[in-house]
Amino acid sequence: MTAIRSIPASSLRTGMFLHKIGGSWLKHPFLRNKFLLTDPEDVRRIIEAGIDEVWIDESRGDPLEMPELVGTDEDAREPFVDTLAESPQLRAAADAPRESRRIVTGPVPLAAELERARSICLTGKAQVQSMFEELRLGNSVRQSDVLPLVEEIASSVWRNPTALISVARLKTHDDYSYLHSVAVSALMLALAKQMGLDEYHTHLAGVGGLMHDLGKAFIPLDVLNKPGKLTDAEFTIMKSHPAAGAQALQDGGAEAGVVDIALHHHEKMNGYGYPHGLKDFEITLLARMGAICDVYDAVTSIRAYKAAWDPAMAMREMARWDGHFDKQVFNAFVKSVGIYPVGALVRLSSQRLAVVAEPGEESLLKPKVRVFYSLRTKEKILVQTIDLAAPGCNDSIIGPEDPEAWDLSNLEVLWL
């Protein structure tokens, strides 16, 4: 019998081990999904957030404090475990040998990881560029060639999940094709960790993220780098990159999970994606993850034909696209990157503009921000860091703002 049960939030007590919170992620007051409830204040926050139902893990609760429980085993199934089991490819891969992941003692501060993240971006960009060149010359690329780089990316993400993701987003359109791969790899690793995937599938996610767009090496440069809208004929050419990349990866002996991410990262849940128009769970979990990470990095990056979207606005827009993404995986993605990711421009209730500088430790809605502009006086103000989760802080985020509407650029100087 499973030790995980659903209970009404009103039955929650300290001593219980919180396994999952039900309902909309917008209501979720914590960054962590799973933890032992020791503070009555946390119980109060869950109830006040309007959450009706929670899942608890009886095997991990404090036995001295565990009261009688209600709920059914059927209700308590872990959704990501279900999703994983639906994919024959992942099920088949489950017995495959596992990569050992570097042991990390704990998260390091964002500022301390940013420099290393920058250096990984430089190395990663050069390596991805050389893979593109090899493919254009007709040579093959091997999954094993990128393992040290993926290990470096993973180590950075485990040390601090925000640093590399934030730095890799800041690319010029010339760098896009190469740094996009590094960014997607980092996003995939953070997402895999958030979803609790095992080491083997986490590893596939990181490698697949790095190699997902290699098929673009076969797209003529005038189409790939065209500053304007593609014609129908050009778009048809562009749509050949997933199959071309998958073929190149297969020729180089890449694992099936990595080939699959390359082949299906442009599929959509509603069946309107390409190349195969797969629907719902016909798309594997890794490819559904790839679709989200790919689009997020694409829309938040400067491209030849468009400015970058603000990261928080991208999150809001992507949440509105019905039928594109797996909603459950998207919810996990939001938790891994943040509702207000680092670098997002936000309006505060104090009528000031601020940039998100660091994720909140307890709540996705209360990051550390740097205020720099007063909307009342319409003037720049002395830059100041505010922890919106600090006791006594009365300020809060009203919502994201579009930097273009305020004619703001180089916002990264406020957090980098």
Rounded Cα–Cα distance for residues 221 and 321 (Å): 30
* DSSP, residue by residue, 113-172: HHHHHHHHHHHHHHHHHHHHHHHHTT----HHHHHHHHHHHHHHHHH-HHHHHHHHH---
> Which of residues 213 and 310 has its CB atom nearest to Fe ion in the complex?
213
Minimum gap (Å) between residue 115 Cβ and Fe ion? 30
Minimum gap (Å) between residue 363 Cβ and Fe ion? 34
Which residue stretch of 207-215, 217-225, 247-255, 407-415 sits at the interface with Fe ion (rule: CB under 5 A)? 207-215
Among 57, 113, 134, 213, binds Fe ion (CB under 5 A): 213
> Which of residues 180 and 201 has its CB atom nearest to Fe ion in the complex?
180
User: In this chain, which residue has its C-beta nearest to Fe ion?
Assistant: 213
> Which of residues 55 and 178 has its CB atom nearest to Fe ion in the complex?
178
Minimum gap (Å) between residue 224 Cβ and Fe ion? 11
Rounded Cα–Cα distance for residues 201 and 381 (Å): 47
**In this structure, which amino acid lies at residue 15?**
G
> Which of residues 213 and 260 has its CB atom nearest to Fe ion in the complex?
213
Those residues whose C-beta lies under 8 Å from the C-beta of residue 20, and which sit 6 or more positions away, are 33, 34, 54, 55, 78
Cis check: omega of the bond before 109, within 30 degrees of 0: no
Rounded Cα–Cα distance for residues 378 and 296 (Å): 32
CA torsion 320-322-326-331 (nearest 10°) is: 20
Which residue stretch of 105-113, 158-166, 210-218, 359-367 sits at the interface with Fe ion (rule: CB under 5 A)? 210-218
> Which of residues 42 and 213 has its CB atom nearest to Fe ion in the complex?
213
Minimum gap (Å) between residue 125 Cβ and Fe ion? 17
Is residue 260 within the footprint of Fe ion (CB under 5 A)? no
> Which of residues 89 and 240 has its CB atom nearest to Fe ion in the complex?
240
Q: How many residues bind Fe ion (CB under 5 A)?
A: 1
Residue linked to tokens 């990316």:
153
> Which of residues 16 and 238 has its CB atom nearest to Fe ion in the complex?
238
Which residue stretch of 41-49, 205-213, 255-263, 298-306 sits at the interface with Fe ion (rule: CB under 5 A)? 205-213
CB 201 within 8 A of CB 183: no
Which residue stretch of 79-87, 148-156, 172-180, 213-221 sits at the interface with Fe ion (rule: CB under 5 A)? 213-221
Minimum gap (Å) between residue 245 Cβ and Fe ion? 8
How are beta strands 53-57 and 35-36 bridged, if at all?
A: unpaired
Minimum gap (Å) between residue 290 Cβ and Fe ion? 9
Cα dihedral sign, 156-157-163-164: positive
Q: Where does this chain bind Fe ion (CB under 5 A)?
A: 213
